[in-house]
Amino acid sequence: MTELQSKILDVIAETLMIDTDDLSHDAAMGVVPEWTSFAHLSLMAAIEEAFGIELSMDEMSKATSLETLTATVHAKVG
């Protein structure tokens, strides 16, 4: 797991108030019970704050899994 992905996992766990152990590589909205569509909005705000980036509506609506979220953040922070 990359450093970026592990940091993202931390933010997800913090926001959803669960343990990082509860999150696997296929973690996604709907797969993790706490990752609801409302929680997703808070998660997006937390990601923006943690990485100092701004996400567009389109990015927010697509970054609903650990994989896509990592790719989105990676593209922004380089």
DSSP letter at 31? T
What value, to the nearest 5°, has the Cα angle with vertex 52 and ends 39 and 24?
A: 45
Give the ranges where 1-78 is alpha helix by DSSP (H): 3-16, 37-51, 57-62, 66-77
Per-residue contact flags (x/-) with another protein for residues 18 to 57, judged by CB under 8 A: -x-----------------xxx-xxx-xx--------xxx
Tokens standing for residue 44: 């997006």
Minimum distance, C-beta of residue 2 to another protein, in the bound complex (Å): 21
At closest approach, how far in Å is the CB of 5 from another protein? 18
The residues binding another protein (CB under 8 A) are 14-17, 19, 37-39, 41-43, 45-46, 55-57, 60-61
